[in-house]
Chains A and B, each alone.
Chain A
Amino acid sequence: MNQADVSKLMSQLRIAVRPNKRHLKNADGPEGRLLKLRKTVTALVKHERIELFYNRADEARGYAELLISNAIRHGDRHKSTMEMADYWLLEKQLVHKLFKVLVPRYENYNISYTRMFKAPRDYPGIYYRKSVLELRGNPYPVLTPDNSQNRNLLHNVLLDEARKEFRREKLTNLAQKLATEMDKVNPGLTSTSDHTTNATEQQYSQGEQPETKL
């Protein structure tokens, strides 16, 4: 009961960490491994999109997330955060980038700050899996295809038709309702009621649009 709420002491990672062995052994031991990870985190903050082996990217991603998250939580006047930034960023001008560029960029994010993609490996080449690791909101062109623009793609055809049908149904409902109301007001004058419904249909079609977007 008296246990501290851990989530308040430590930043929560916004990525899923899989408990797999990453096989990052190094000739220089743990220090060598950490140096490689520091180089990766530095490169990520510097270039914003890097291509590298999957395991190393996966491991470095967690540290990059934690660094940015702590920088947002504590700011640049917090001693241990500053020490952490000093440790992970080998090029010291990037400490400024972290606090002056990345912190404002990610302040209002409620998703992870980095993104990772599987990349194809060269054939024939080294067998290890490759990946692309990037900071969100980077200035480069996006890597995922945009399927929403081409309206001829199958799902877009289906969605467009569904939208049209929805609108058509709503209009006929409206027209019927108006027709019955007109009939109540002056029964026997069906021809006039037709005209009015047409007018309202036109008005309506310029107005609201139902929500069936992707």
Chain B
Amino acid sequence: MSAVTKLIKPNLGALRQLQQYRNIVNLSATAALRSRNELFSQEQRRQREAVGRIEKIEVRYLGLPEDVTLVMNNHISTPYNCAQHLSEGHCKRAALALIDGTVPWDMHRPLQESCTLQLLNFNVSEPHLVNKAFWRTCSFMLGAALQRTFKDEAKLELHSFPGPNIKSGSFVHDIVLGTQSWEPTKAEMRAISAEMVKLSAQDLRIERLEVDKDVAIEMFKDSRYKSEQLPSIAQQNQGRVTLYRLGEHIDISRGPMVASTRFLGKCTISAAHKVASEGAASAFYRIQGVALPSGFTLNHFAYGLLEQRSQKLNSARLPNEPFEEQQQQQMQLS
């Protein structure tokens, strides 16, 4: 088939020797990943400690079972903590919070002032915001799944993902691979889908962190494309960059995202399109998929139609086009 066919990690047990060999090769990549995670945790700890004297805020919760006022800690308590005061069911079901009736807010992002709070799930009557957050989370998770699936020899580098557009029928992640001609087989796509399902089974909390531009550049210094993108992203957001972490995977995104990977239900990674070649040996690929939130059941025929549609090349801005325009497009979309 092609060179990269051999580059996907075998699902079932590989030889130990091979693994050891790979471990040696992986060392540099894992070291970079570890230092990135350490920086993230460090910055997270620093921000928590910087809160200083704890101030109280009043959070007015609107919704079932009754409207209540909760007294929470400013810059520490999150919507998830508020849900913990309500019931276990609220904690499990709430995917996204709505502050003051308009602002979507991550479940694990500390509140910053007295406000009203609504907890959103996928079954509310107006689920636009939470659907969008879900679609964005799917793209983000796809990045994590790809990084887990590919071997180092494949020279995978994540590029970016465009703003979520559910009506296009597929969520997208753009990557660069060290081959000009990758035509994935069905089994390979299924391996990536399986990795997504594994992520969802692990129920990983999705953490959000806003950092300064310098910290972000330090974190992504080994990633060529991210460090290219960072200056313009920071410029648009007053020198701040929003990062998200899932397990060990860290990426740049404007957010918001859903609270946990648990919310991913049925998922198919359906297609990988070659977008353009990048240099002599590598190329841009657009990986696409379709997913439903957990708890939504759809018969296999209808889901098959969605899968078929998600295979068509998504028309969102391509990664090889100028980045500033892409950002503007994202701003318009979201």
Residue numbers in A under 8 Å from B166 (CB-CB): 154, 157-158, 161
Residue numbers in B under 8 Å from A158 (CB-CB): 166, 169, 290, 306, 309
Report which of A152, A153, A159, A213 forms a contact with B306, defined as CB distance below 8 A: A159
Task: Decide yes or no whether A150 CB sits under 8 A from chain B.
Answer: yes
Task: Decide yes or no whether A155 CB sits under 8 A from chain B.
Answer: yes
B131 touches A212 (CB 8 A): no
Q: Is the interface of B mostly helix, strand, loop or mixed?
A: mixed
A-B Cβ contacts below 8 A, count: 57
- Known contacts: A152-B126, A157-B167. The answer to whether A162 contacts B306 by CB under 8 A is yes
Q: Which residue of B lies closest to A153 (CB)?
A: B127
Residue numbers in A under 8 Å from B168 (CB-CB): 161
Name the residue among A150, A157, A162, A214 with the largest chain B CB count within 10 angstroms: A162
Distance between Cα atoms of A165 and B167 in the complex (Å) = 10
Q: Which residue of B lies closest to A152 (CB)?
A: B127
Name the distance in Å between A150's Cβ and chain B's nearest Cβ.
6
Distance between Cα atoms of A157 and B126 in the complex (Å) = 12
Residue numbers in A under 8 Å from B126 (CB-CB): 152
Task: Decide yes or no whether B125 CB sits under 8 A from chain A.
Answer: yes
Tally of contact residues, A, Cβ under 8 A: 16
Distance between Cα atoms of A150 and B130 in the complex (Å) = 15
Q: Which residue of B lies closest to A165 (CB)?
A: B309
Name the residue among A145, A153, A213 with the largest chain B CB count within 10 angstroms: A153
B299 touches A154 (CB 8 A): no
Report which of B131, B302, B309 forms a contact with A154, defined as CB distance below 8 A: B131
Report which of B293, B298, B309 forms a contact with A214, defined as CB distance below 8 A: B298
A214 touches B302 (CB 8 A): yes
A162 touches B131 (CB 8 A): no
A198-214 interface (Cβ within 8 A of B): 212-214
- Known contacts: A159-B306, A162-B306, A165-B309. The answer to whether A154 contacts B298 by CB under 8 A is no
B305 touches A152 (CB 8 A): no
